Every structure is written in structure tokens, then in C-alpha cells.
Structure 1
Amino acid sequence: MIAETIKVQVPATTANMGPGFDCLGMALGLYNEIHMSLSPGKLFIDVQGEGAEDIKRDETNIVWQAAQRVFQELDLENPGLTIKLINQIPTSRGLGSSAAAIVGGLIAANQLTGGILDQDRLLGLATELEGHPDNVAPALLGGIVISVVAEGEVHYIKINPPEDLNTVVAIPDFLLSTRKAREVLPKTVSLRDAIFNLSHTALLVGALCEKRLDLLSVAGKDVLHQPYRASLIPGMKEVIQAANEAGALNVTLSGAGPTVIALTSGFSEEIARSMEQTFQRANVKCQVKMLKPAVEGTIIL
């Protein structure tokens, strides 16, 4: 074990990007920091910033549980830890806060133990803890990541985002759990809808690889999850329409929501204003952020 304090920085993420349900995600330039050091015989957790009033400070804390998974993987006794969380990523808003906690906890604990586990194994552990790789993969690797789990192994390809791609992110002032957002989804879908999302996901990935931003408005459409989740988010449909009319390249739910994210070429005050005002007309307070995609994933500070 290393005696020094390990500090890591983990980006927010947006999953699905429209049609790429549970298999596509992108890192965003909004970050949490995790500071971790040995504290023999005790656990101490301090939380600053987003979620400070709600995040658990005991052994149910996600960062602590991720760290424990590393110690278990290495067949080490669980040491006491001091953990400091400095959070900018809002919790339960569809921006990958739990993925950031999991990835940050794994990376920090791995560094404390000498960096034994490699990146692919850490991604496998993160996927095991999160349940799917769409957020944890870009949180760890950065950029845009397509990921598939096959026979317990995560297979992925990272794409560097087009240089002129940016985002406008409207974050409503209410929580929406991933569990609740999944409960409204149908158990089965029609062949027509499956083909729709398969074809649009393929076009979206191709457009991102070829830097064809002009195709995003078509490629980013979805019929598998967003129509069902709209009932949970007042004003969602109107916000998407307003942002598109203001010039966005594509507008989707970020992950399970309630955050709505617009892909843009350059930053647009008009798009940001249209999203905020449309949510306000639905009696939903929100904050709007303009974020660059993050090419780098989790880094050790």
C-alpha cells in the first residue's frame, strides 16, 4: 500500500446519445475529484459540492464500495480509508455521477495498491458494479466510446470527438433515478423499432467517425427509450423541439434523464436560452451549462 494521498479527476458522461441505448456514451468537461488515502482502522468520508447533503458517508458510499472491490480483486484486507469527494457532477440527473464515483473509486484504490490492475480489468470491474458500460467506459477512457459486453468481457472502441463538436446541457432541478426511468420502458419492442434504432446508431457512429456533423440531426433519433421517458420529464419534448429550432445539431435525453443535451457546432447562447426558457414554461427550474466533450477520461492528478 502507498502512504500518500491519491487524487483522481473523473469526467461526467452522457449515455445513449439518442439511439445508442446502453452501448454508446461520451465524456464531458465537467469533473469530480476523489482524494483517497489510508486511514488504518476507520473510514472517513468528506463530501463537497454537488450531492453534499445526500451522498452517504458510511460503507454504503459508492466510492468506498468500488475501492473495496479492488482490494477484493487483489486478495487484500480492506484497510481504513479517508476519502474526500469534490463534486461538480449533479447526482441523479443523467450525467454519470454514479459512474464517476465507481471509476474514481476503482482508479484511486488501484493506485493506492501500486497500480496493479490494468485498464481493461478496471473497466470490467466498473461494468460489473454499474451493470452496463455505457457511462463507465467514457468516464474511464474519455471521448466517445462504443461498448459491448460479451461472455463477461467488455469490448470497446474509442472515438475522438470532432474538434468542433460542443454541447449545451440543460439540467432540471429535480432527481430522476435510473431505476425509475427503466421501469417505464416496455419489456419487448417491435421489429420495426429495433431496426430503426440499429440503423440510426450505425449512422450516428459513422457520422462521428467521419466528422459528418450534418448527419447528426437524422442519426440521433430514437424510438426505444425517449418516447417512454418523456412522461417523467415535464417539458422534455418541447425543450428538444426548441433547441432544434434554435440550431442544435441534435437534441436528446442525457442517459436516463432528466437532463437534456444538445449537440452543437460551437457554443450557442440562443440554444441555451431556448432550452432554459422552455423548461421554465413547463414550471421546471434548470441550470444550463456549455460543455466541451472530454477527450481524456479519468486522470491521476
Structure 2
Amino acid sequence: MLSKASLRFSLQTRQRALTARGMLFSPAAHKRMARSLSSGFQGFEDGVERDSVTVAVPATSANMGPGFDTIGIALNVWNTMTVERSDKLQIHVSGEGSGKVPMDDSNLVVFGVKTAFEQAGMKMPPLRFKCHNRIPFARGLGSSSAGITAGLLAGLVLSGTRVPVWGHETFLQLACGIEGHPDNVAPAIYGGIQLGMHTGERWLSSRVPTPHGLQAIVFIPESIGETKVARAVLPETLTYKEAVYNISRASFLVNALNTGNLADLKYATQDALHQPQRSAQFPHMTPVIEVVTHLQFFRPCSPC
């Protein structure tokens, strides 16, 4: 099931942020939501450091159809993490990825917290991380982006640091600076279906409405798929024919989601830039695409 656009977190006592529903926000609406969120944090102030924080971040599926590095969606599968001040770095992991993720400062949740403290002009103190992971590790469901987002959010709260949102999206800039592309981190931060791009100056995101009743069926491979390996098979150049193929289908995809015309998804999720090139690395991909197309289901997203 698709997640609502939300990031839940608490400051020692678990407090929920308001849930932003699947819609586009005007600047005025965004300001109203920001005021509501601020009141919901019960006294959260700049410069006031915290001793602990608990965050929850959703799984994501990116490269939706023809939207390579551009379109991603949040899913209702969550990793939770509690970070507390300590006398030394400690990492405890349960659930997915236990025994596989790094247990030192190379772990992305630690790197995210460190980046947030650097944003605040501070050095990261010794911390204890308690992570319970429900997102499958390295299976194409945004476990890396969830770690980055969770770490950044926890670090900002612990350091008592606010960052600009409307017109700046500083949180997104920090996350993309680590991840390198927006299609996983944007829905991990904002929820729902997100478009992402770089303007030449900064990363920019925009929400696409989630059609009522749309659900996600996730096929999880038994083998681990590394992003750098998946990207290594992509060609350096494209033909005009391939570019036009994807532009036309990406346009239809966004329009189908906006209008709720799900019948167009059969064609609007076709791709020429990454799915064919990765079919040898992911032998299950082509059979799955053929089955869901025949059954008129949504075509699968591709690993990063």
C-alpha cells in the first residue's frame, strides 16, 4: 500500500508531525502547514539541542517507468531509528540488513547525522544508534535513501537546527548531496509520488497526486543489487529516438497520475533508457514486466 506523505518522528516523547496528504501545495498553503507543524513540535526551537530522537522513514521505489533518476514513490514500509547521546559510537541493528550493514561511521545513518551537525556548524557527539529495519537491504526499495534521510532528520533535531524549506529545500539539498539523485530521497522526505530535477543551481522537487486506490505490489529479489553495478551497464550516449521515446512516455505518466487515467499506464511506464539495459543483470525483470502488462497492472520500477 502506498504511504501517505509523512515523516514521523518524536523528541524523547513520541510526537507525530501532521500528515501532508497527496496534493500540490501553494506557497500560502505551505506556510500554513509549516505553522501547524511547528505548533505540533511543542516548543522545538533553533539552537536547543536534544538528548534523543526517534525517526521513521519509508521505503521508496524510484526510476518509475521512463522517469530514470527523476520519478519516485514512497511505500508503506518503514525503518525506525532512535539516536541517543552516549559516551562512544554504538550501532545496534535489528531486522533487515542485520549483520550486513556497516557498524561504524561509514553507515549512512551515521553519515547523515554527521552531515546535519556539520550543517549546524557543530561536531557530531558520540551517539548510540538503535535501528529496526523493515526495508529490505539493497533490494531496490531505497534502503540507502532511508538511511540518509533518517540520519539527516535525527541530526537536525539533536542539534536543534531548522533549515529553510520553501524556495530552498535545504533538507533535499543535503540528502541529494549524499545520494547523488533525487528520485529516492524526495519521496523518503516528502512522501507520495515525487518529481525531482536539478536546476543547475539546486535540487528541486514537486509532488504528483497519487490516484485513489492505486496500490503497489513489490517483487523482492533474493540477491542483493548494488547501485554502482546497476549504473555501470547504462550507456554513455543515447539516440534521439530513445530520448523521444522516454520523453513521450514520461509526459503520459505524469498526466495519467494527475488525471487518474490509469489505463494509460500500460504505455506510460515503458522505458528505453534503463530497463532493457539492466535485463541481463536482473533476469526476473522482463518476465515480471510481461506478466503485469498482460494483467494490466502497473509496470515495475527499476533499481537505482
TM interval, shorter chain, is: 0.7 to 0.9
Note the 1:54-65 alignment, pairs <5 A: 54-65=100-111
- Structure 2 residue 135 is matched with structure 1 residue 89: yes
| Distance change (3 Å), C-alpha of 1:152 and 1:91 | farther
Q: Retained in 1: the 8 A contact 2:64–2:269? A: yes
Q: Per-residue deviation at 1:229?
A: 0.2
Structure 2 gaps, min length 5? 1-47
Note the 1:77-226 alignment, pairs <5 A: 77-119=123-165, 120-226=169-275
* Corresponding residue SS for 1:79: coil
- Structure 2 residue 118 is matched with structure 1 residue 72: yes
Larger deviation: 23-32 or 107-116? 107-116
TM-score normalised by length of structure 2? 0.81
Residue matched to 2:14: none
Q: Per-residue deviation at 1:56?
A: 0.9
Q: Retained in 1: the 8 A contact 2:149–2:188? A: yes
Structure 1 gaps, min length 5? 257-301
Q: Per-residue deviation at 1:234?
A: 2.0
Residue matched to 1:53: 99
Residue matched to 2:63: 16
Q: Retained in 2: the 8 A contact 1:18–1:220? A: yes
Counterpart Cα distance in 1 of 2:301 and 2:63 = 8
| Superposition CA RMSD, Å | 1.3
Residue matched to 1:239: 288
Alignment coverage as a number of residue pairs: 254
Q: Per-residue deviation at 1:253?
A: 3.4
Q: Retained in 2: the 8 A contact 1:62–1:98? A: yes
Counterpart Cα distance in 2 of 1:229 and 1:55 = 25
Q: Retained in 2: the 8 A contact 1:204–1:219? A: yes
Larger deviation: 223-232 or 149-158? 149-158
Higher relative CO (Cα under 8 Å, sequence separation at least 6) belongs to 1
Counterpart of 2:232, as a letter, is: E
Higher strand proportion: 1
Counterpart Cα distance in 1 of 2:132 and 2:284 = 31
Counterpart Cα distance in 2 of 1:231 and 1:175 = 15
Report Cα offsets for 1:128-148 as digits up to 9, x if no partner: 000111100000000111111
Residue matched to 2:20: none
Report Cα offsets for 1:149-201 as digits up to 9, x if no partner: 12341111112311210011110100010100111111101100001101110
Counterpart Cα distance in 1 of 2:129 and 2:163 = 20
Q: Per-residue deviation at 1:244?
A: 2.4
Counterpart Cα distance in 2 of 1:141 and 1:182 = 25
Q: Retained in 1: the 8 A contact 2:275–2:302? A: no
Report Cα offsets for 1:32-78 as digits up to 9, x if no partner: 011111114x1011001000110111111111011111111111122
Counterpart Cα distance in 2 of 1:3 and 1:252 = 41
Counterpart of 2:79, as a letter, is: N
Q: Retained in 2: the 8 A contact 1:95–1:254? A: no
